Chain A
Amino acid sequence: MTVLQGEGYEVGYDAASGSVHVKGVLRLGGMDEYLPIARILENAIGEHRTLTLDLTGLDFLNSSGIATLSKFVITARNHQDCNVTICGNAAVPWQGKSLNNLKRLMPALTLRFD
């Protein structure tokens, strides 16, 4: 389990189960600051082809974060045999609309709202 911790957030990659979880509040300033997280996601999808992204604990994600996620989904979409599942929390305000948009970017994306 590789864990990246920052001020108020945590990103964990569990290689065994092929899942990445993001918890807390992410308000990094700009795409560059999201690079480490982007790399974790790319790494995960590179190794696994199947990836579960658990965002149920992510209470807030700013625009640069959503942009990072979108880029990741586009990359995943462009790798033919990728299988991505995103778990979201319907109670968290930003997640409804933004995660739906992600599904538009990659129709094969599985979206699960708990």
Chain B
Amino acid sequence: MRNYPITLRISLLVAIAILSGLAIFGVQIWNLRQAIYAERERKVHDMVDGALQLIGTYDDEVKAGHLTLDQAQDTVMKIIRSMRWGNGEYYGIHRFDGVTLVTGNPAFEGHYRMDVKDPNGIRYVAEMIATAQKGGGMVRYLQTRGTGASGVPLPKMTYSAPYMPWNWAVVTGVYVDDIDDTLRHQFMWIGGVGGLVLLVTGLLAILIAKSVTGPVLGLVEAITSIDPNRPADWPCPPPRRDELGKIVSSLDALMHAFQNVLEQHDKAKDENARLGAELDVSRRMQHMLLPSKEELSALDGLEIAAFMEPASEVGGDYYDILPHGNGVRIGIGDVTGHGLESGMIMLMTQSAIRTLLSSRCNSLASELSIINTTIYENVKRMGCGKNLSSALFEYKPSVTRDSMETASVKGCLNVSGQHESVIIARHDGRLEAVDTDGLGFPIGLVENVADFVNDLTLSLYRGDVVVLYTDGITEAASEDGRLYGLERLAEVALNSRALSAEAIKEAIVSDVKRHMGKAVLYDDLTLIVLKQL
């Protein structure tokens, strides 16, 4: 049943209702017919009973000796002959021997009429007598109403009852053609009204059914045409207050919720893409300005090797190696936080350092101070609260005119700025970690750092190795959370100090990687190795 269309089922319902109505109507008509016939039968029966009563009364008189039989019979016949009832119905009395004593047409009285037939061949007088002799009953036959041959034979219903003592069959009958006429009349009347009622009911039923199936089918149509990418744009049917209306309003809310989710999802995807793009840009920024290998190798007396590996969330490490005139300016720094802003600050720092290099500024400390103010003002504008730890180095080969000094200083490294300790692995195996805590201040944190910046000069001898780095190296965590550490870094540098700067760098990087294992890198790794030749 549930696989059949709704419209079909509703139509079936309406059809069943109409058919039931018609069936009941039919039954009622039939009952009416039966009732009318029964009524008629009762009537003629009662009328005959009445006549029998009359006969009985006269018979009593005979029995009482007040009348002779002939007198009584004659009187009774006279009375009964003249009796009329209903629509001109008359009585008949037929003697059991077949002689009609009383009947509607006086011409027939006194004749033997056993063989009289109706148009259908029914010997109705004989029937009446026979029926009476059996105790009484109904006889039906056709008879022409009125006199003469001009009439149409019509069905008549007659009751015949006996008055046994006198051998009389007493009958009276009534035409029943009018019954069918009446019925037809009733039929038309009821049919008309009933039909009208059924029609109206049917129409109403169809209208109501349509008012249900219509919107349901409309809803089906609307739902099946939902665009999964834009659910909120579904063709929402107009509001209504019935159950369907509730479904529609719930569905509409649901569609909007879906739409919301889709939009959030899209937004999240877009955000992700944007962040990914930002990260890309930051990373490229980091690399665009890094010195090339050619630049690094163009230095006499100093071997330089550099390494940088950004973390997945670009951390904003910075380094630059700027050969100039007779020396090398080296910068290294670590911007707090990560992302696009950190990348920008790193860029600004690089530019500022380069700019100052071309100036006639004499001291690293004052250069850092100037850089700090620049960065501070920009960071204030950005409102991001970021700053960087940064150290500046200036390497100058030593000008030794006195060749008698064997263990001579080959180069001077001037340091300024607060950053990670500078590791020096001396050629003879001594290890130094130069604390830069008192050499500066975080850059961009406060407006003026002039009071905090100082510089320090380190002498480098042949074979000395200087290691500069950011805390990404010393704080690189292994899988079980142990940090790489300053000690281990210094140890590796010391152990590989005989190698070239490049090889030392490789040794350190592979050792850090070995320590990390499969652990994720959280902060940029930056490493600069200087080897005094």
The reply to whether A64 and B445 contact each other, CB–CB distance below 8 Å, is no
Binds A, one of B154-162, B294-302, B383-391, B514-522: B383-391
Q: Which of B418, B437, B441, B446 contacts A74 (CB 8 A)?
A: B446
The reply to whether B387 and A101 contact each other, CB–CB distance below 8 Å, is no
For residue B300, give the distance in angstroms from its CB to the closest CB of chain A: 37
Q: Which of B383, B442, B445, B452 contacts A30 (CB 8 A)?
A: B383
Decide if A40 is an interface residue (CB 8 Å cutoff): no
Decide if A90 is an interface residue (CB 8 Å cutoff): no
Decide if A67 is an interface residue (CB 8 Å cutoff): yes
Instruction: Collect the chain A residues with CB atoms within 8 Å of residue B442's CB.
Output: 66, 101
- With contact pairs A97-B437, A101-B441, A104-B452 given, residues A64 and B386 touching in the complex (Cβ less than 8 Å): yes
Decide if B323 is an interface residue (CB 8 Å cutoff): no
The reply to whether A64 and B385 contact each other, CB–CB distance below 8 Å, is yes
- Main secondary structure on A side of the interface with B: helix
Q: Which of A30, A32, A63, A97 contacts B387 (CB 8 A)?
A: A63
The reply to whether A30 and B337 contact each other, CB–CB distance below 8 Å, is no
For residue A60, give the distance in angstroms from its CB to the closest CB of chain B: 12
B344-385 interface code vs A (CB 8 A; 1 in, 0 out)? 000000000000000000000000000000000000000111
The reply to whether B384 and A30 contact each other, CB–CB distance below 8 Å, is yes
A53 CA to B205 CA, complexed, in Å: 84
Instruction: Collect the chain A residues with CB atoms within 8 Å of residue B385's CB.
Output: 30-31, 34, 63-65, 67-68
**Contact count band on B:** 10 to 19
- With contact pairs A31-B385, A64-B384, A64-B385 given, residues A100 and B336 touching in the complex (Cβ less than 8 Å): no
Decide if A62 is an interface residue (CB 8 Å cutoff): yes
B378-415 interface code vs A (CB 8 A; 1 in, 0 out)? 00000111110000000000000000000000000000
Interface residues of B in 414-461 (CB under 8 A from A): 418, 437, 441-442, 445-446, 451-452
For residue B193, give the distance in angstroms from its CB to the closest CB of chain A: 81
A62 CA to B452 CA, complexed, in Å: 22
For residue A30, give the distance in angstroms from its CB to the closest CB of chain B: 6
Instruction: Collect the chain B residues with CB atoms within 8 Å of residue A104's CB.
Output: 441, 451-452
A65 CA to B530 CA, complexed, in Å: 35
For residue B389, give the distance in angstroms from its CB to the closest CB of chain A: 9
Instruction: Collect the chain A residues with CB atoms within 8 Å of residue B441's CB.
Output: 101, 104
Decide if A70 is an interface residue (CB 8 Å cutoff): yes
Decide if A105 is an interface residue (CB 8 Å cutoff): yes
Instruction: Collect the chain A residues with CB atoms within 8 Å of residue B445's CB.
Output: 66-67, 70, 101
Instruction: Collect the chain B residues with CB atoms within 8 Å of residue A105's CB.
Output: 446
Q: Which of A32, A63, A68, A101 contacts B383 (CB 8 A)?
A: A32
A74 CA to B337 CA, complexed, in Å: 23
The reply to whether B337 and A63 contact each other, CB–CB distance below 8 Å, is yes
Instruction: Collect the chain B residues with CB atoms within 8 Å of residue A30's CB.
Output: 383-385
The reply to whether B446 and A70 contact each other, CB–CB distance below 8 Å, is yes
The reply to whether A62 and B446 contact each other, CB–CB distance below 8 Å, is no
B118-150 interface code vs A (CB 8 A; 1 in, 0 out)? 000000000000000000000000000000000
Question: CB-nearest residue of chain B relative to A97?
Answer: B437
For residue A66, give the distance in angstroms from its CB to the closest CB of chain B: 7
Binding site for B on A (CB under 8 A): 30-32, 34, 62-68, 70, 74, 97, 100-101, 104-105
- Provide 6 A-B residue pairs closer than 8 Å at the C-beta atoms, listed in order of the A residue: A34-B385, A64-B384, A68-B385, A101-B445, A104-B441, A104-B451
The 5 closest A-B pairs by CB, nearest first: A64-B385, A63-B336, A67-B385, A31-B385, A63-B386
Binding site for A on B (CB under 8 A): 336-337, 383-387, 418, 437, 441-442, 445-446, 451-452
For the complex with contacts A63-B387, A66-B445, 13 further pairs of A-B residues with Cβ separation under 8 Å are: A30-B384, A31-B385, A34-B385, A62-B337, A63-B337, A63-B385, A64-B386, A66-B387, A67-B385, A70-B445, A100-B437, A101-B418, A101-B442
